[in-house]
């Protein structure tokens, strides 16, 4: 996979944006590839025109940033002026087209990056598995012959990057929707502190938990996209000094049910880091057990999703994926008392966990406990439910605690992808990127990653 830094260097030495775009479009439009499933809409002509414009600016030394001319994909949750934002659903196909870009898209565009198309996703972003019965489900890049799940909800985003159909992707993360597909597809996914990047122009799942984040080949790529979307100047990440780094390894819940592939990769990653001088401390963090209790009635996601969807459900409910609809409808049974108690319980949990974690530089754990299962195995409703809960279990902790978190590949080549998750403190996004860049060099040494 080509990194943003590599692409920027290529552009600086004479490679044209148009050539980068044409390479990505060729992969997207290949009828035997995953493009038709990964993308719901391709902006081929607009992308070519934008690339030609950027090439003209570059020839005159007027590129808006060093990443200008790089094609990226955009999850179908974001408004793009002139497009209908369907959020992976057929219920919104006749909605009015957006009149302006979402802020995250506008900032990406202002930096000169080029939105190449809208990527497929779990309908209304409400699942960690990535299935979409309306537009078909993108296949995981690993073991295509079997056909494995891509992870969700930013399924097409992850596949677009892993298959080189885009050099980075814009996603959202409410319970793990950037990190889960990144983990099972073998790339990097980042969830920022929720308010770091504006969510306006992104169709909401949970106003409380939603965050906008990137998926990309490397930590450095994600850091650059995150900075641009946060309104900052992107800069190279300086890796943290590993010697003396203190990482807390939670023991409660997050290690339960690991399959042998994940367990082996996680154990090896910890061993490699320890040999580099990283101090890894096993900590109980029994407070994590309370996350499930907070969500026992559907949590913020169900309550706030129902508040947004209830009128649409009255007229278009029959068009919803039943697996999504049943989760939204859990919000109907919550009353004001439930919601207020949820807010208070979350605030208390955030306070108590912070009092323990502050003595460490970050927490470390598997992103998800199992590798991507075959899609065929998820047809049974009970199996789908079990896998969906497993996918979301570890990642949702960061959303509930309102922290930043990142998933980094930690598997060996030739085996199913495994993600290693680092979780930082609230607002410590720059610090986490620095730590993640150092960890990446040890646990994910892949050719071409710079």
Asked if pLDDT for residue 367 goes beyond 60, the answer is yes
Do 287 and 166 belong to one domain? Answer: no
Does 56 share its domain with 181?
Answer: yes
**Which among 229, 254, 274 is the end of a domain?**
229
pLDDT in tens, 399-424: 999 999 999 999 988 899 999 999 99
pLDDT at 413: 86
Residue 414: per-residue pLDDT: 87
pLDDT of residue 446 exceeding 70, the answer is: no
CA trace torsion 107, 210, 137, 108 (10° rounding): 10
Q: Tell me which H or E stretch contains 280.
A: strand 279-283
- Does residue 300 sit within a domain? yes
Extract the tokens encoding 197.
Answer: 């990047």
Task: Find the domain containing 282 and state its range.
Answer: 246-443
Within this chain, do residues 220 and 258 fall inside the same structural domain, yes or no? no
Place of tokens 């470390």: 364
Q: pLDDT value at position 362?
A: 98
CA dist 195 and 184 (Å) reads: 26
Reported residue count of the chain is: 450
Tell me: pLDDT of 449 over 70. Answer: no
Per-residue pLDDT band for 25 (boundaries 50, 70, 90) equals: very high
d(CA 113, CA 28): 18
Strands 419-423 and 362-366, by their bridges, are antiparallel
Among residues 197, 229, 261, which one ends one of the domains?
Answer: 229
Distance CA 115, CA 440 (A): 27
Residues 35 and 153 in one domain: yes
Domain membership of residue 240 (yes or no) is no
For residue range 46-56, list pLDDT tens digits in order: 999 999 999 99
Residue that has been written with the tokens 């490397």 in this structure: 218
Shared domain for 124 and 218, answered yes or no, is yes
**Is residue 371 very low, low, confident or very high in pLDDT (cuts 50, 70, 90)?**
very high
Give the catalytic positions in this structure.
75, 153, 177
Asked if 73 contacts 156 with a C-beta cutoff of 8 angstroms, the reply is yes
Question: For the residues of 232-291, what is the DSSP string, one character each?
Answer: S------PPP-TT-EEEEE-SSTTTT--HHHHHHHHHHHHHHHHTT-EEEEE--GGGHHH
d(CA 364, CA 432): 11
pLDDT level of residue 445 (50, 70, 90 thresholds): low
Q: What is the mean pLDDT of residues 294-301?
A: 93
Structural domain count of the chain: 2
Q: What is the CATH number of the domain that holds 76?
A: 3.90.1300.10
Query: 212 and 277: one domain?
Result: no
Mean pLDDT, all residues of the chain:
97
Q: Are residues 203 and 279 in the same domain?
A: no
Same domain, 224 and 252: no
Using the predicted structure, report yes or no on whether residue 192 has a pLDDT greater than 90.
yes
Q: Considering the domain boundaries, does residue 113 fall inside one? A: yes
CA gap 435, 450 in Å, rounded: 16
Do 393 and 256 reside in the same domain of the chain? yes
Report pLDDT digits (tens) over 101-140. 999 999 999 999 999 999 999 999 999 999 999 999 999 9
Q: 309 pLDDT exceeds 60?
A: yes
Q: Does residue 241 lie in a domain region?
A: no
């Amino acid at each position: 996979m080509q990194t943003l830094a590599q692409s920027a260097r290529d552009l600086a030495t004479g490679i044209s944006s148009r050539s980068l775009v044409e390479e990505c479009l060729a992969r997207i439009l290949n009828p035997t590839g995953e493009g038709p499933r990964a993308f719901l809409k391709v902006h081929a002509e607009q992308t070519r025109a934008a690339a030609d414009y950027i090439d003209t600016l570059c020839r005159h030394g007027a590129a808006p940033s060093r990443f200008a001319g790089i094609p990226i994909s955009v999850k179908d949750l974001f408004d793009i002026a002139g497009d209908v934002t369907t959020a992976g659903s057929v219920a919104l196909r006749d909605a009015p087209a957006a009149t302006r870009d979402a802020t995250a898209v506008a900032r990406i565009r202002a930096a000169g990056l080029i939105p190449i198309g809208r990527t497929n996703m779990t309908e209304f972003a409400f699942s960690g598995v990535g299935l979409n019965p309306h537009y078909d489900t993108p296949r995981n890049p690993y073991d295509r012959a079997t056909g494995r799940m891509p992870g969700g909800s930013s399924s097409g985003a992850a596949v677009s990057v892993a298959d080189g159909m885009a050099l980075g992707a814009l996603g959202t993360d409410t319970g793990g929707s950037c990190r889960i597909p990144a983990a099972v597809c073998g790339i990097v996914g980042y969830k920022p502190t929720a308010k770091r990047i504006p969510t306006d122009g992104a169709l909401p799942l949970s106003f409380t938990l939603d965050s906008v984040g990137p998926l990309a080949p490397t930590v450095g790529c994600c850091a650059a996209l995150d900075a641009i979307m946060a309104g900052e100047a992107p800069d190279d990440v300086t890796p943290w000094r590993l010697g003396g780094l203190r990482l807390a390894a939670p023991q409660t819940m997050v290690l339960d049910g690991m399959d042998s592939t994940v367990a082996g990769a996680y154990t090896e990653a910890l061993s490699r880091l320890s040999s580099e001088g990283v101090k890894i401390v096993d900590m109980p963090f029994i407070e994590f057990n309370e996350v499930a209790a907070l969500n026992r009635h559907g949590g913020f996601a169900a309550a706030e999703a129902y508040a947004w969807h209830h009128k649409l459900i009255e007229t278009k409910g029959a068009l919803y994926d039943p697996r999504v609809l049943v989760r939204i409808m859990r919000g109907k049974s919550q009353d004001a008392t439930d919601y207020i108690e949820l807010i208070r319980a979350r605030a208390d949990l955030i306070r108590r966990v912070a009092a323990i974690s502050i003595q460490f530089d970050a927490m470390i754990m598997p992103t998800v406990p199992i590798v991507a299962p075959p899609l065929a195995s998820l047809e049974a409703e009970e199996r789908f439910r079990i896998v969906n809960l497993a996918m979301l279990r570890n990642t949702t902790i960061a959303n509930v605690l309102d922290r930043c978190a990142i998933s980094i590949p930690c598997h060996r080549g030739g085996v199913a992808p495994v993600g290693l998750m680092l979780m930082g403190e609230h607002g410590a996004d720059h610090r986490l990127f620095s730590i993640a860049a150092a960890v990446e060099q040890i646990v994910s040494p892949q050719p071409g990653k710079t």
